[in-house]
């Protein structure tokens, strides 16, 4: 990107940005470049200026991501705050951009008498992240509500796709290469019943069972078929086990807690140790839900 192109940007471009400032584990090395677009049109222009070989990594609230200590090469795009349009485009159909938090969408639907999105209040991430991983909670999944999505490619072009064009599963979505979610349309039934009590109940249930308020990424592993990752880890006797300054939560065994001394390598080593131990004891290989990106030191 040349000087003239940079001057046309309306967002914020940061160089050598510490990713520890942008992940819920509060660990991670430097990103070569970190871009916060002003809006969707600004993001389109920014992408159009990038060289085709530039690696691109997206980050929302950083709640489902482990950035290694060596940092991230290329560009990190952070739509949080910039891509935040949220509106009802027809009765029962909500348009939400990827930079919105999942909890904001849940509260918006509740306020406007739309049912079925209350579980999103307990997901600590953005709409973009929820779409990319089919995030869910309490038996619900994001893609059960999706009718249409807007994608963006490396050239900054927008592509509209229907939900049935995607293969989705438990915490998985097959995405076209070099396309990313920037918005979605959610279909929800209208209701006269307020969901405020349900949202509060779900949040209380989360707070009672999870180490809310401590640095973590949420659930580290997906649940294996017919079982629960937390139960396997706990039964293996690993609650409270630490490697370096990363520790398995005493409250919920599928959470890893960090502190000011934790390195990303501590967390990654602990993840591998959990997988090895559970596989040896129960012949079950736990798959990570968290996305591990970047380079090791």
Q: Which residues are catalytic?
A: 171, 219, 289
DSSP 213-267: TSS--S-SBPPPTTS-HHHHHHHTT-TT-EETTEEE-SS-TT-EE--TT--HHHH
CA 211 centroid distance within chain: 18
- Written as six digits, the tokens of 20 are 């520890």
CA dist 163 and 216 (Å) reads 31
Residue pair 63/24 in contact by the 8 Å Cβ criterion: yes
Residue pair 61/81 in contact by the 8 Å Cβ criterion: no
- Written as six digits, the tokens of 165 are 């064009």
Residue pair 188/145 in contact by the 8 Å Cβ criterion: yes
The CA-to-CA distance between both ends of the chain, in Å, stands at: 27
CA dist 107 and 18 (Å) reads 31
Residue pair 169/157 in contact by the 8 Å Cβ criterion: no
Residue pair 61/21 in contact by the 8 Å Cβ criterion: no
């Amino acid at each position: 990107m040349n000087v003239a192109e940079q001057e046309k940007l309306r967002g914020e471009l940061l160089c050598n940005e510490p990713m520890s400032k942008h992940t819920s584990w509060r660990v991670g090395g430097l990103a070569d470049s970190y871009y916060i677009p002003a809006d969707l049109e600004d993001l389109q222009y920014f992408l159009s200026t990038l060289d085709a070989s530039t690696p691109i990594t997206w980050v929302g609230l950083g709640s489902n991501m482990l950035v290694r200590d060596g940092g991230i090469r290329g560009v990190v795009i952070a739509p949080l705050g910039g891509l935040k349009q949220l509106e009802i485009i027809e009765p029962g159909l909500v348009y939400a951009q990827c930079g919105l938090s999942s909890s904001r969408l849940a509260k918006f639907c509740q306020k406007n008498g739309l049912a079925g999105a209350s579980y999103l209040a307990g997901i600590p991430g953005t709409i973009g992240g929820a779409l990319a991983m089919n995030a869910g909670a309490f038996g619900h999944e994001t893609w059960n509500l999706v009718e249409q999505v807007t994608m963006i490619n490396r050239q900054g072009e927008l592509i509209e796709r229907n939900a049935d064009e995607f293969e989705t599963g438990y915490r998985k979505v097959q995405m076209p290469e070099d396309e990313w979610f920037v918005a979605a349309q959610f279909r929800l039934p209208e209701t006269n019943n307020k969901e405020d009590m349900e949202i509060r109940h779900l949040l209380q249930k989360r707070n009672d069972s999870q180490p809310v308020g401590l640095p973590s990424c949420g659930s580290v592993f997906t649940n294996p078929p017919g079982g629960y990752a937390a139960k396997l880890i706990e039964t293996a006797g690993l609650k409270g086990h630490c490697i370096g300054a990363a520790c398995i939560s005493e409250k919920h065994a599928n959470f890893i807690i960090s502190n000011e001394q934790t390195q990303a390598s501590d967390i990654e080593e602990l993840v591998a140790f959990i997988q090895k131990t559970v596989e040896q004891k129960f012949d079950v290989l736990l798959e990570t839900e968290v996305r591990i990106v970047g380079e090791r030191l």
